[in-house]
Structure 1
Amino acid sequence: MTTASPVNIEHAKDIHPDLDMALLHEAVIADRILWSPAELHELTSAVASELATPLLDIVRFDPAQRWWTRLALTMGVELWLLSWTPGQGTEPHDHGGASGSFTVSIGELDEDFSHGNGPVRSTSWRAGDTVAFGPERAHQLHNRSARPAATVHAYSPPLRPVRHYRALSDFRGV
């Protein structure tokens, strides 16, 4: 697992050294302090599709533990690349009041999710699918397929602590 150094300067950008290219610099807008779910959707979708080859050079699949690396960080958004080998997944969690988005770039993932006091729902996401959400969503992701998967995630505001739950039904909104 790798991470980049935190950003401490307003309007600064921290970009993964293997993705220090114009497209990512243009997509990650340093002076946007708060990104909407629609803007996060656009970001993860564009990065997953336009930077597919460089992402393949970075991603690592580790059956012993989930792997991730931060791709970019500003005062308003953080962008991550995650991998999921068969059987790997998360515990039920929310994103501490942040909005988010993820795009499946390789493989497929199953998601169980809840909005506030709503029912727990389940869906499957395949390569090319993008989902964006506001701060009122809790979820858990699993790779139940026989093939590895990779996803690009974005959150705004960045660096919010994730809150874990015993079960998604315990989530009551933010």
Structure 2
Amino acid sequence: MSVSASPAPSSDPAAPARTTAKPAGPSAAELLAFVRATAADETLVSSLPLDPEGRTWIRLEGPAGSEAWLIGWPPGTGTGWHDHGGSHGAFATAAGALKEDSLATRLPTEGWKTLELAEGVDRERVLEAGDGRAFGEHHVHEVRNESGTRHAVSVHAYYPPLPLMRRYSRTGQVLRLEEVELPEEWQ
């Protein structure tokens, strides 16, 4: 008679965990692949109505339960400083160019109204048509179309779907929490 047995799980706390479950929802890299592919869809991008004075948007079906948007940016418009309420995400420029200013530091999510930022935390980049970037759940940034004559269009995706957005004002190195927006305020 032959008997086979599976090895007993290790009781060594330093032993690597044996997990095969994939984390729920798309990763930042998967969101980046989605926004880049969507930004390359010329038919979809050209279907967005553009307003000369205000941003326009269309909600899209994002991958694996994520929230996604196609957004039109008239010349000179922007988001102001904000975060994504703990969601990670990605965005890609489909037309024109967008400038992103971001903070290379993790901010506390609660318990403060005003923070003085350390020197050297500022980052900036310009995303031309076809460029994209992913970001983590603690990302704080502002995005704007600095062109004086040309619309920009971009695709954004977030997971989990945005539970809230915190909006900030900034004067020099001082960042101030101004308001917390809930989804019903932008959907």
Q: Name segments (4+ residues, structure 1) moved above 4 Å.
A: none
Partner of 2:175: 170
The residue type equivalent to 1:139 in the other structure is: H
Partner of 1:109: 98
1:34 aligns with 2:25: yes
Structure that is richer in strand per residue: 2
Tell me which of 31, 39, 59 is aligned to 1:70.
59
Identity %: 40
Structure that is richer in helix per residue: 1
Higher gyration radius (CA): 2
Q: Which SS does the other structure have where 1:112 is aligned?
A: strand
Partner of 1:52: 42
Q: Which SS does the other structure have where 1:43 is aligned?
A: helix
Answer whether contact 2:169 2:176 (CA < 8 A) is retained.
Answer: no
1:148 aligns with 2:151: yes
Answer whether contact 1:114 1:171 (CA < 8 A) is retained.
Answer: no
Could you list the per-position Cα deviations for residues 9-54 of structure 1 after superposition, in whole angstroms to 9, with x for gaps in the alignment? Answer: xxxxxxxxxxxxxxxxxxxxxxx842211111111011111x2223
In structure 1, C-alpha distance between the alignment counterparts of 2:87 and 2:129, rounded to whole Å: 24
Could you list the per-position Cα deviations for residues 141-168 of structure 1 after superposition, in whole angstroms to 9, with x for gaps in the alignment? Answer: 1111121100000000003211101128
* Count of aligned pairs between the two proteins: 139
| Unmatched tracts of structure 2, length 5 or more | 1-22, 108-119, 178-187
1:134 aligns with 2:125: no
In structure 2, C-alpha distance between the alignment counterparts of 1:171 and 1:98, rounded to whole Å: 20
| Unmatched tracts of structure 1, length 5 or more | 1-31
Q: CA deviation at 1:140?
A: 0.5
The residue type equivalent to 1:53 in the other structure is: T
In structure 2, C-alpha distance between the alignment counterparts of 1:101 and 1:169, rounded to whole Å: 26
Answer whether contact 1:138 1:171 (CA < 8 A) is retained.
Answer: no
Q: CA deviation at 1:170?
A: 2.4
In structure 1, C-alpha distance between the alignment counterparts of 2:81 and 2:29, rounded to whole Å: 23
Which shifted more, 97-106 or 110-119?
A: 110-119
Over 3 Å counting, the alpha-carbon distance change for 1:171 and 1:103 in structure 2 is farther
Answer whether contact 1:33 1:76 (CA < 8 A) is retained.
Answer: no
Could you list the per-position Cα deviations for residues 72-128 of structure 1 after superposition, in whole angstroms to 9, with x for gaps in the alignment? Answer: 157730111000010111110000000010010000011110132571211111000
In structure 1, C-alpha distance between the alignment counterparts of 2:130 and 2:174, rounded to whole Å: 29
